[in-house]
Structure formats: structure tokens, C-alpha cells
Amino acid sequence: MKPLQHDKVPFWLRWLIPVLLVLTWLALAGIGGPTFGRLSEVSSNDQSTFLPASAEATAAQEWQTKFRDSNEIPAVIVIENDSAFTQAQLGQAATLKADLDELKVGSTVVGPIPSEDGNAVQFIVPIGPDGEVADVVDQLRELVAADAPDGMRTYVTGPAGLTADLSGAFAGIDGILLLVALGAVFVILLVVYRSLLLPITVLFTSVFALCASILLVFGMAKAGWIQLNGQSQGILSILVIGAATDYALLFVARFREALTHTTNRTRAVLTAWRNSFEPILASGATVIIALLCLLFSDLNSNKALGPVAAAGILCALFAALTFLPATMALLGRAAFWPFRPKVLPADQREPELVTGLEGQKGIWRATGSLVSRRPRVIWIASVLLLLVASAGILQLKANGVPQTDVILSASNAVDGQEALARHFDAGSGSPAVVVTDQSAADEVLAKVKATDGVGDAYLLGPNNVPITGAPGTPADPDVREGRVLINATLNYAADSLEAEDVVKTLRTDVKVIDANALVGGVTATALDTNTTAQRDLVVIIPIVLVVILLILMLLLRSVVAPVLLILSTVLSYAAALGVSAIVFNNVFGFSGADATVPLFGFVFLVALGVDYNIFLMSRVREESVKHGTRPGILRGLAVTGGVITSAGVVLAATFAALGVIPIMFLVQLAFIVAFGVLLDTILVRSLLVPALTYDIGPTIWWPNRMARHDGPVTAGGSGPKHAATPHEQADASR
């Protein structure tokens, strides 16, 4: 870096543009901040909306709309006693039906239905689309608790109850999640910078980026372009805070370095912006493009996360390249108070380095020295360690989990499902739905009843009343376009893996009789969601890898280095997933993992891991041009080591904050990404990549001309080679 002249900077560049940029971001924050609370208006956690049109459960649901309002979601009320209900208690429970009907939350209330052991009764209350499910469930819980016989336990469960409790678990996204994430980042930045003003400025950069991204996401959801849900909303907040802080760390490091060359704060900002623009832009663009690869997903929830997260990264990118530089231009050295960087004498600005490390102190000097002495031992040991950790993938059970296990906090609905299983067919209130031709109805019904795992099954008459043969029930099924509906109550909870196995059997058996038959319902929706998620994993991972590889090739003007970086990132991801599987099974005691967890973990770890690759290797390339490849590797490691480590700790802390939301998917994603980022930062970027590239030498730049020699590159070709170190002489003799 050449010393900057202390000449005058025009007023418009020194004050006008920085002030305008800061005011623009303040305006965006003023509009975007209040919009945060409105995201619930355009958000849905209904799993059925995530499925593609090609899914069998989706096709079955479309047929159900021709028989009834399929937008209704059933709530199952369970009243449980330690002993059998007396006649008086049954009569009191029966009066509850009239009170439930008066609420008019949907179509006809069914019940009370006594259990065979006499210790419980249940009601099925359809909730229509006009009411907010969580609010209606709260009303039902208050009413049932007040009207039930004294001393009895009451639950509102079923799909409606579980949805309401799931929404309640997501409620912390707007408040506690942000507070925990921002608090963790602030503490880390205080330790890193030993300054008060600079951490606050970096936090404002993150918060303003989040506010701007909220505006974009709200607009996309309002226009119907994406299907927003609580998971995407939580990930957006964490991703923006983490990414914006990472980009800010890189810019601030360059700004501090520039301040040692000039007393002019504006010129220092311009120098820092010029030197950090390419790696920040490349990092942001890589993550954005990788996230947009989720558009190839068949799951609408995954498709939505791509644009949502990409919008967040885009805003983080702009905030780090506009708001932060503008603020630094106004604050100058005061931002680092009380440890303001001083202008160094010319002969100390870029010390002559024999091994690339003289003049550097502390852990990164020691790390570089270790890398230069034993590069091959270090990278082979690192690879072996990662391979051992990767073996844990064999224990990963990412084939979906029951919805009752998804909520990790206390839940009336989860307790209600357990009560339901104790006294009734566990699938009560959430039957499997079979759509079949009228001509095959009787034969299909017989086959459904004979299927293991099915408690009972009925053809449905008008108004979806089961045809049981009892007095007052319909005699003939309701027929629409030559098709009829069959409800099958399963012996297993509708959200269980056992219920999914029954649905698989039903789909095979009924299609032998009617090739056009469809099996849908709550269980089928969960099954198709898991199947589609596993398909997405196979399709999207190769696309992301190819896209990132091409971007790295363009950035580094090389083929060998990008391939090595991609392989190291994939190995790091596999190790993180392997360790996570062991922790989930043996420490947290989780029953399994959501089928989308491996895909989301891959996209975030690989895309964000490439960030650190870009931070490191773009600086290595810059130093290699001036000093040669091996000295450039050590210089790049020494200069970026602290920044990358700080960025990794910040990102790990922000993703770990997802763990405060009591949703299994978010807790698992938080651990995978937080652990994976730390593993990538501490082992892969600090030891494996520097040692491997140092051992290979200039060949990493092939086919660039830098691969043909191990010295500085001049405008006319290659310059004189640097004096070889003893370690490099040993390398040459091998």
C-alpha cells in the first residue's frame, strides 16, 4: 500500500456524501423498523402451503375443496379424568357442545365422544379460515377449562392446537432473538476493538441492514411472490446481523490499516473501501447466488428462504459498503477511541519479511511459523481429523420428526396428543383422507379397513358426516365428479413416523384397486414434505457447489485454488454434520432431525465458509503478486487471521442465538452452523488451507502466470524471486 498524500479532500466528498448516506439509512430504518411487527400479516406456518403442486397430498387437498372448505383446520378437545366419567359428568361435558357451537369458529362441532375406558371424552372443532388459529385456540382453552367438570384435565390439541403452540414458540423471534443476537455481537466487538463507539457503529450497520431487508421481504410476501414462515423470519434476522458484522470487520480492519498511512480520514476511508470492495462484493455475491439456488427446491418453504435470505445479504452488503464507510468518514480516528491508530513511519508500514511474518506478533505469527515449518504434516493431520468427525454422519436421522417433538417448550397441544393416545385411536381428529372413484368405493373402503395401523374408516356423506349405519347418519356417500371421500382414523398419532408408514402402505394398496386414488391428510402432508426435502438435498447441493466454484475461479483467476477451497469447505461441512449428529442423539436426546436440516446447514456453512475463503485467499493473492506465493500465504494469514477469527466468532454467536427459540429445527440449525463456522474458522482457514496451499506452492494459481514462478509478479511478467527460506529450499529439494 502506497503512502497517501495529506492533501485536501473536496467538501462534498468529506462531508456532503457521508451525511446524505447516513440520513438515507436512518430513513430506511425508520420505515423498516415498524414493518418488523407486521411480518406476521404475511407469514404462515401451515405445512400444507409448503408442498409443490405435484405432491399427492396437494392433489388430495384440491379434491377435498370440492367436498368442503378445506381451509378449515381441526382442533381436538380432550377432557381427561383419572377414573371413569359418571353420568352426571358426561351430561356436563355434553352441555359443552352447545357452548362450542355458539363460538361459531367453523362448521359443525363433533362430540362428545367417550373413550372405551370411559376416562376421557373428545370433541372435534373445525376452525374456519376467518379466525386467527392461535386466538381461536386460546378461546377454546379458556372455555373448556371453565366448563369442564371439576378436577379434570383439559387439552386443545390436533392440528389447530399444535399450530397455535408452534406460533407461540416463534413469538420470540421479534424480540428475544434479536436482543440475544445483538447482545452477543456487542460483547464480542467490545473485546475485539476495545472501543465503545466502534462496536455501536457496527451494530447500527447490522440493524439498519435488517430494517432495509424487512421492507424488501414484506413487499415480496405481500405481493405473493414468496411464502414467508417463522423459520425464514428467524434465519433472516440472524443471517443479516452475522453477515453485516462480518463485512464490517473486514472493512474496519482495512480502515485501521489505512489510518497508519495517512492523517486524512477521508482518504483512509477511500483506501479501505477500494481494498475491501472486491472481497466484500465477491463474498456477498457468492452467498446471494448460493441462496438463490434454493429456488430449485420443490418445497415452497425452501423456495421462499432463498429470496428472503438473499435480500438480507444484499442489504448487509450495501450497508457495509455505504453506511459504515460514511460513518467512518465522519468519525475518523475517534471511532477507535481510546486506542486510536497512529500514523507509522514509512519504513514501518510494510516491514521487510523474510518468511512473511517478521513484524507480526502473537498467535498468527506463531501459526504462520508452524505452517511454514510443517505444512504437509499439518494439512494431512487436519484432513484426517475432519474425516474422523465426518463419520458421525452415519448416525444422523434426518428423515423428519413428529410435530409433537418439534416444540421444545411446554405445550398444551403436545400434552393433549399424549392424552389422546392414551384413550383413543391416536389419529383421532386428523384422519388420512382417501379420494377414490365411486365405482371402487366399497372395495377401497374394505382394503383401507384391513390395513395394519388403521383403527377405523368410513365413507363420507353430505357435510362430511361419516356413514356408519347408525340411525340418523347418511345412507349414501357424497359424490363429486364421480369421486368420493374416505376418512381413515389411524392407530398412531398423525404426526408420527409410524403414521407415515401406514400412509405409504395405503398409497400402495388402494392404487392396486384404483390407480387414480389419492391419499392425503395431515400425515400425508408431512410425509410428502420430508420426501421432497430429501429430493432437494440431492438436487441443490451439486448446483450450489458448481456455482460457488465458478465464482471462486473468476475471483482468484485460478482453477486449482478454487477446487481445493471447495473440497475443504465440503469436508468441513461433513465434519460439522457428523459431530452434530452425535450431539443431537447422545447429548440433546432428540428423536431425529427435520429433513431440511442437512440442506439448510449445507447452504449456510458452504456459502458462509466461502466468505472466509474469499477474505483469506483474496488477500493471499494480493500479497503473492507483490512478494511471491509462499510469503504471500503467510502474509495473508497474518493479516487476515484476526479478522477471520473475529468474524467467525461473531457469526457463530449470532447463529447460536437461534437456540433461544424452542423449535427443534432452529436449535439444530443453530448448533450445526455455529459449530461448523468455528470449526471452519479455527481449523480449516487457520491451518488446513494455509498449510495445503503452502505445500503446493505457486501451482495453486494454475493456469494463471503466477503458477509459473515463485516470485513477485510485475506488470511486464515475473519479477525477481524472493530469497528462499530454509523451509522453501527444503520444499524445492523434494
- Domain 70-165 in CATH 3.30.365.10? The answer is no
Q: What is the pLDDT of residue 129?
A: 66
C-alpha cell at 496: 408420527
Cβ atoms of 51 and 529 closer than 8 Å = yes
Q: CA 664, CA 659: separation in Å to the nearest integer?
A: 9
Q: What is the pLDDT of residue 569?
A: 87
Residue 734 has pLDDT above 50, yes or no: no
Per residue in 209-268, pLDDT (tens digit) is: 999 998 888 888 888 777 777 677 778 888 888 889 888 888 988 888 888 877 888 888
If one counts every other C-beta atom within 10 angstroms of the C-beta of residue 731, the result is 19
Q: Please give the radius of gyration of the chain, using alpha carbons only, rounded to the nearest integer.
A: 31
Average pLDDT rounded to a whole number, residues 284-295: 87
Amino acid found at 30: G
Residue 351 has pLDDT above 80, yes or no: no
Q: What is the pLDDT of residue 41?
A: 65
Per residue in 541-589, pLDDT (tens digit) is: 889 888 888 888 888 888 998 999 889 988 999 999 999 999 998 888 8
Average pLDDT rounded to a whole number, residues 359-380: 80
Q: CA 78, CA 120: separation in Å to the nearest integer?
A: 7
254-268, 307-321, 703-717: which has the minimum mean pLDDT? 703-717
Cβ atoms of 424 and 524 closer than 8 Å = no
Residues 6+ apart with CB under 8 A from 221: 39, 42, 43, 227, 228
Residue 722 has pLDDT above 60, yes or no: no
Residues 351-354: contacts with CB under 8 Å, at least 24 apart: 353/627, 353/631, 353/634, 353/635, 354/723, 354/725
Q: How confident is the model at residue 356 (pLDDT cuts 50, 70, 90)?
A: very low
Q: How confident is the model at residue 348 (pLDDT cuts 50, 70, 90)?
A: low
Residue 731 has pLDDT above 80, yes or no: no
Helices then strands, each counted (H, E), the chain: 26, 10
Cβ atoms of 19 and 330 closer than 8 Å = yes
Residue 676 has pLDDT above 50, yes or no: yes
Q: CA 550, CA 641: separation in Å to the nearest integer?
A: 25
Q: How confident is the model at residue 717 (pLDDT cuts 50, 70, 90)?
A: very low
Q: How does DSSP assign 174-227, residue by residue?
A: TTHHHHHHHHHHHHHHHHHH--SHHHHHHHHHHHHHHHHHHHHHHHHHHTTSS-
Distance set, CA 148 to CA 88, 95, 154, 161 (Å): 12, 9, 8, 18
Q: What is the pLDDT of residue 691?
A: 92
Q: What is the 3-state secondary structure (H, E, C) of 370-398?
A: HHHHCHHHHHHHHHHHHHHHHHHHHHCCC
Cβ atoms of 122 and 420 closer than 8 Å = yes
Q: What is the 3-state secondary structure (H, E, C) of 455-496?
A: EEEEEECHHHCECCCCCCCCCCCCCECCEEEEEEEECCCCCC
What residue ranges do the domains of the chain occupy? 1-39+195-349, 70-165, 431-520
Residue 323 has pLDDT above 90, yes or no: yes
19-28, 34-43, 377-386, 502-511: which has the minimum mean pLDDT? 34-43
Average pLDDT rounded to a whole number, residues 326-345: 82
Q: How confident is the model at residue 12 (pLDDT cuts 50, 70, 90)?
A: low
Buried b (16+ CB within 10 A) or exposed e, 309-338: bbbbbbbbbbbbbbbbbbbbbbbbbebbee
Q: What is the pLDDT of residue 47?
A: 56
Average pLDDT rounded to a whole number, residues 325-354: 71
Residue 14 has pLDDT above 80, yes or no: no
Phi/psi of residue 290, each to 5°?
-60, -40
Cβ atoms of 425 and 489 closer than 8 Å = yes
Q: CA 660, CA 177: separation in Å to the nearest integer?
A: 7
Per residue in 459-496, pLDDT (tens digit) is: 887 766 777 666 666 777 888 888 888 888 888 877 77
**3-class secondary-structure state, position 599:** helix
Q: How confident is the model at residue 416 (pLDDT cuts 50, 70, 90)?
A: confident
Per residue in 65-88, pLDDT (tens digit) is: 777 655 677 888 888 888 888 888
Per residue in 682-698, pLDDT (tens digit) is: 898 889 989 999 899 88
Ramachandran sector of residue 400 (left: φ over 0; alpha: ψ -120 to 50; beta: rest): left
Q: CA 136, CA 103: separation in Å to the nearest integer?
A: 9
- The pLDDT mean for the chain works out to 80
H or E segment to which residue 1 belongs: none
Residue 313 has pLDDT above 70, yes or no: yes
Query: Matching CATH topology for 70-165 and 431-520?
Result: yes
Residue 102 has pLDDT above 90, yes or no: no
Q: What is the pLDDT of residue 44?
A: 62
**3-class secondary-structure state, position 113:** strand
CA contacts within 13 A on the Cβ side of 516: 10
C-alpha cell at 308: 428472503
Q: What percent of the chain has pLDDT over 90?
A: 10
Cβ atoms of 323 and 245 closer than 8 Å = no
Amino acid found at 253: A
Residue 429 has pLDDT above 50, yes or no: yes
Q: What percent of the chain has pLDDT over 70?
A: 85
Residue 377 has pLDDT above 90, yes or no: yes
SS3 content of the chain, % helix, strand, coil (to 5): 70, 10, 25
Amino acid found at 39: L
Per residue in 147-162, pLDDT (tens digit) is: 777 778 888 888 788 8
Residue 426 has pLDDT above 80, yes or no: no
Best CATH choice for the domain 1-39+195-349 from the list 1.20.1640.10, 3.40.50.10160, 3.40.50.300, 3.40.50.12660:
1.20.1640.10
Best CATH choice for the domain 431-520 from the list 1.10.1060, 3.30.40, 1.20.120, 3.30.70:
3.30.70
Pick the more confident residue, 533 or 129: 533
Q: What is the pLDDT of residue 174?
A: 60
**3-class secondary-structure state, position 408:** coil
Q: CA 68, CA 622: separation in Å to the nearest integer?
A: 66
Q: CA 323, CA 18: separation in Å to the nearest integer?
A: 8
**What pTM was estimated for this model as a whole?**
0.78
